[in-house]
Each structure stands twice: as C-alpha cells, then as structure tokens.
C-alpha cells in the first residue's frame, strides 16, 4: 500500500474545473515530481492534499487513513507537511523561532523543540543567522527556512511547492543537494517544479498535469519523450534532455 494515495480528486471554482479526476500515489522514501504548464492545477492539487481546499470529489488516503477534508494542521500532525510556492516565513520572528513553531508539532516541551530547531538549522547551514529575523533573510535563505520549518514538523511526506523558483543556478544546486539529503532521511517528497533540471535530477517518477488532468506518468526519461507532454510545454520551457 502506498504511503499517500490520491484517488480521483476534483476541484471546481464556479464554472472552472481546476483539477479533474487526478490520481497519484507516493511510496515511502520516494521522490515524485509533479510538473505542468502554468495554471495546470499543481498548487490546487497541493492545497487539496494538505487540507487547504476540500476536494469536490475524490479521496486522499495517507498511511491507510482517509484524510480528505481534514484541516491543514490535522494533516500536518499525521505526518504530511507542505511548503508554499511564495514562501511564508513568520517575518518578525527569528529564524530559530520560525523553525521552533514547526518543531512544536511533535512536542510541548520548549527545550526539546529548541533542540530540534537548532539541529535542523544546522542541517541547513543556517546557524549564523539563527537570531536574525526572517524578514531580513535573502530569498535563497528564505527558501531554506521554508524547508527547515517543514522538516521540523517531523513529517513522513513533504510537499515541496516550487522550492527552487527564483534561485540562481548555484543556489539551485545547493537546494538540490539539500533535497537529496532530506530524501536520504527517509522522507517521501512530492515536488512541484518548473525548473526541469531539478526535476530530472531528483524525481524517480514524474506526473504531468495539464488543464487539471494527468496527461502522462512515468520515469523522467520516458516523460521527456512523451509527445503530449512536449505539446503541452511547447514554447513554455526548454526540456534539457541530458538532465
């Protein structure tokens, strides 16, 4: 049984069908990529899985439990944490406090939470800025903070929403490295990405969405040669076949 099983979820906004009958599954420790042109419905799917939207149809099962319609904090408590495409730090709190909020997900003890926060901050190489307010961080480090907060919640799955957007190539390399290390810890990852290089180098399998529907699924090399995928992306993004 898969760790995360998404079956036939659909979301409508008035007359617009943002996501239509989407299926996907994620196994423990796996990295699944979710790609598609802008407006394809990726973030909407994320919002449904993480509890921010209620699907109009369909089910979401996590570790065998039906989590459809649960609140975001309930989903997080069960072990599924998401990040946001446009990062959402707690601007006036320090980096440490930002991460501690995540760490408190599993404990009520201040010392334990702080310990965990410091470990994670170290893992992300942000010890120097522990006391700085989140608003004073650069974009690259805010993205790291976003990951740090998610990690602190001790999740089994992290939904990473465009964690690399807006990063310079060298920053992207660092992030890719980071994501690999997170995966090594046994955390399953569902990545939404636009940067092909990232998806190709990280994802074991890829699901392609277009107009809210799945149009392809498979290994990265298969996807890249899929005609429908290429059509959907024509003019959008240059697919670097070399990965």
Q: Is 81 within 8 Å of 157 (Cβ atoms)?
A: yes
Total residues at interface with another protein (CB under 8 A): 37
**What is the Cα–Cα distance from 162 to 235, expressed in whole angstroms?**
20
SS3 category, 137: coil
Contact flag: residue 133 with another protein (CB under 8 A): yes
Q: Which stretch binds another protein (CB under 8 A): 9-17, 21-29, 30-38, 101-109?
A: 101-109
Least distance CB 28 / another protein (angstroms)? 21
Bridge pairing between strands 80-82 and 31-35: unpaired
Least distance CB 13 / another protein (angstroms)? 14
Least distance CB 46 / another protein (angstroms)? 10
Site string for another protein, 27-66 (x = CB under 8 A): -----------------------xxx--------------
Least distance CB 97 / another protein (angstroms)? 6
Contact flag: residue 73 with another protein (CB under 8 A): yes
Contact flag: residue 97 with another protein (CB under 8 A): yes
Nearer to another protein, 71 or 180 (CB): 71
Q: Which residues contact 21 (CB under 8 A, 6 or more apart)?
A: 8, 9, 10, 57, 58, 213
- Please spell the DSSP secondary structure of 180-192, one letter per residue: HHHHHTT-EEEEE
**Alpha helices for 79-134 (secondary structure H):** 95-103, 110-123
Q: Is 171 within 8 Å of 140 (Cβ atoms)?
A: yes
Nearer to another protein, 26 or 113 (CB): 113
Least distance CB 93 / another protein (angstroms)? 6
* CA distances, 155 to each of 7, 21, 36, 106 (Å): 21, 26, 26, 10
Give the binding site for another protein (CB under 8 A).
Answer: 50-52, 71-74, 76-77, 81-84, 88-94, 96-97, 100-102, 104-105, 108, 110, 113, 131-133, 149-150, 152-153
């Amino acid at each position: 049984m898969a760790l995360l099983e998404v079956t036939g979820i659909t979301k409508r906004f008035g007359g617009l069908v943002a996501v239509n009958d989407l299926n996907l599954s994620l196994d423990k420790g796996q990295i699944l990529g979710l790609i598609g042109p802008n407006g394809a419905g990726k973030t909407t799917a994320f919002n449904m899985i993480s509890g921010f939207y209620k699907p109009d149809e369909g089910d979401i099962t996590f570790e065998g439990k039906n989590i459809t319609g649960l609140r975001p904090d309930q989903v997080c408590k069960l072990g599924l944490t998401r990040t946001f495409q446009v990062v959402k730090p707690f601007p006036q709190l320090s980096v440490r406090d930002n991460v501690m909020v995540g760490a408190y997900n599993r404990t009520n003890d201040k010392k334990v939470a702080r310990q965990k926060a410091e470990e994670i901050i170290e893992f992300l190489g942000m010890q120097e800025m522990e006391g700085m307010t989140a608003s004073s961080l650069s974009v690259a480090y805010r993205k790291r903070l976003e990951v740090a907060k998610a990690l602190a919640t001790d999740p089994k799955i992290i939904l990473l929403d465009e964690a690399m957007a807006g990063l310079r190539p060298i920053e992207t390399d660092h992030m890719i490295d980071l994501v690999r290390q997170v995966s090594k810890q046994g955390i399953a990852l569902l990545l939404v990405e636009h940067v092909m290089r990232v998806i190709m180098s990280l994802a074991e399998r890829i699901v392609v969405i277009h107009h809210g529907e799945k149009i392809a699924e498979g290994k990265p090399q298969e996807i890249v040669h899929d005609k429908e995928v290429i059509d959907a992306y024509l003019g959008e993004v240059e697919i670097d076949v070399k990965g």
